[in-house]
Structure 1
């Protein structure tokens, strides 16, 4: 059964869909685009999304499921530049939980991130209950106590937790989103990084703060059984990442600078030049 359907009355044989197909599943035939190796289709949807005449359909990415893009770029570059710079790692949260609908929006946007060969493969566990996170904190602290030599900050977090009840694992965030992937999935961590980056940027538009739960990840990546049991992680899956989620307790008033951009230009004649000083002002 063909996965590609072409409306030959609409098709002008422009060849754009063939040129953009990343796996060369399509080639230009006498009557328009045709399948060469349908098993190679990775369901990226390029062929359907790019056609200027809505002449092509793909069973894996149906035209009926695609959304018309009215304007491109969607936002101007200055707005995007300042928006991306405004994202900060939040480590002080309000106690109120983020509503389930908003948490679901974050997980939903994460699935649209680019992934290796469009394999996707990431699923999510969303923790709504702060009590569950308190139990997870205790488990991670226990793991730290068993592995104090692994990282310089472990003794500090253990002491703060045991003596003052300070949660240095989740920073008292009310919610946590955990990414998981099948254990035999090759690009689980890489796809997770891209997906959670999308999630974090989108969270800003909802007034929601986030930060990577690095200490939790260290424990999870060691396959610490008490933690996996607490979170009911299926035996067929591995935790591939996690972000703390909640409403920021404070709001940043300024955009923070970073190290100067470091670029080397490599010209056609083989010479290389350091970044031109004129680029010092690109953000101003």
Structure 2
């Protein structure tokens, strides 16, 4: 049951919720919005009806609109967003101290608001929080790559990983960059748009983290190592067998400070369609 309810004392009968329903499920019944019982199964629980109702008259899924965050005057302006987007950097130097669990939980709870295809909300984050677990993952990854290198089992398209092994044997960490935390982002194989959903969620996480002074790195080398070359590592860390791991992200407190943006406006590739 979607528990669609209308507070008639607040409802202005404006019809905004009906106009904004993604699949046009709502209709007026006796002058007020309603969700017919035979259409409930089509509802994707996007909550647009509750969000678009200015007086807060609409409730769905048992949620109280009074508990939602008001938006009036709270969005960052374009210049603030420009600074955030241009100013974020891939961090490859991290302080060793881990973040507080509460901080990580807050970041991920906010990231859960990232859009997903048909509102499937199937993205799952496996979070590495403590240094001991990160150290174990580094060691297991090294051993797996050493084994592949000995058997000459690293394919040519990932030949860079052959050069990674001696660096790791010297005590360097070109894959995980000595980051205190790792996100392994996945979605169940039945989730539509799962690859796009994961990339969108990680992009939201990256910008949110940057706004909080937390650094991130898109961990492509880690993805090659743990997903493409040695997927047994995913099982050892607890990724569900029916999940596709799309990408990995490192994060933690930066041990470096940047003072200006780079200059890439000239790299914008824009074409305008004119008919």
TM-score, structure 1 normalization: 0.84
Task: Note the C-alpha offset of 1:159.
Answer: 2.9
Q: CA separation of 1:186/1:140 partners in 2, compared to 1, >3 Å: closer, same or farther?
A: farther
Task: Note the C-alpha offset of 1:58.
Answer: 0.9
Match of 2:55 among 35, 41, 53: 53
Q: Distance in 2 between matches of 1:143 and 1:124?
A: 28
Matched, 1:32 2:36: no
Match of 1:210 among 216, 229, 247: 216
Counterpart secondary structure, 1:157: helix
Counterpart secondary structure, 1:222: helix
Matches within 5 A, 1:108-127: 108-127=109-128
Task: Note the C-alpha offset of 1:147.
Answer: 1.5
Q: CA separation of 1:182/1:260 partners in 2, compared to 1, >3 Å: closer, same or farther?
A: closer
Matches within 5 A, 1:134-149: 134-139=138-143, 141-142=145-146, 145=149, 146-149=153-156
Does structure 2 conserve the Cα–Cα contact (< 8 Å) formed by 1:43 and 1:61?
no
Q: Distance in 2 between matches of 1:154 and 1:51?
A: 53
Counterpart secondary structure, 2:272: strand
Task: Note the C-alpha offset of 1:205.
Answer: 2.2
Q: Distance in 2 between matches of 1:102 and 1:20?
A: 34
Matches within 5 A, 1:140-219: 141-142=145-146, 145=149, 146-162=153-169, 164-219=170-225
Report what 2:269 is aligned to.
Answer: 262
Does structure 2 conserve the Cα–Cα contact (< 8 Å) formed by 1:127 and 1:133?
no
**Could you list the runs of 5+ residues in structure 1 that have no partner in the other structure?**
271-284
Q: Distance in 2 between matches of 1:255 and 1:182?
A: 37
Report what 2:18 is aligned to.
Answer: 18
Does structure 2 conserve the Cα–Cα contact (< 8 Å) formed by 1:210 and 1:244?
yes
Q: CA separation of 1:215/1:25 partners in 2, compared to 1, >3 Å: closer, same or farther?
A: same
1:160-217 superposed Cα distances (whole Å, 9 cap, x missing partner): 223x222111111111111222233232221111111111111112221111111221
Q: Distance in 2 between matches of 1:136 and 1:251?
A: 31
TM-score, structure 2 normalization: 0.87
Task: Note the C-alpha offset of 1:230.
Answer: 2.4
Q: Which region of structure 1 is more displaced relative to structure 2, 18-27 or 214-223? A: 214-223
Q: CA separation of 1:225/1:263 partners in 2, compared to 1, >3 Å: closer, same or farther?
A: closer
Counterpart secondary structure, 1:265: coil
Q: Distance in 2 between matches of 1:18 and 1:10?
A: 16
Aligned residues: 266
Report what 1:90 is aligned to.
Answer: 91
Task: Note the C-alpha offset of 1:48.
Answer: 0.7
Task: Note the C-alpha offset of 1:256.
Answer: 0.4
Q: Distance in 2 between matches of 1:108 and 1:55?
A: 26
Matched, 1:221 2:221: no
Q: Which region of structure 1 is more displaced relative to structure 2, 80-89 or 128-137? A: 128-137
Does structure 2 conserve the Cα–Cα contact (< 8 Å) formed by 1:116 and 1:187?
yes
**Could you list the runs of 5+ residues in structure 2 that have no partner in the other structure?**
none
Does structure 1 conserve the Cα–Cα contact (< 8 Å) formed by 2:141 and 2:233?
no
Q: Which region of structure 1 is more displaced relative to structure 2, 122-131 or 244-253? A: 122-131
Q: Distance in 2 between matches of 1:58 and 1:256?
A: 45
Does structure 2 conserve the Cα–Cα contact (< 8 Å) formed by 1:137 and 1:170?
no
Q: Distance in 1 between matches of 2:213 and 2:147?
A: 33
Task: Note the C-alpha offset of 1:91.
Answer: 1.2
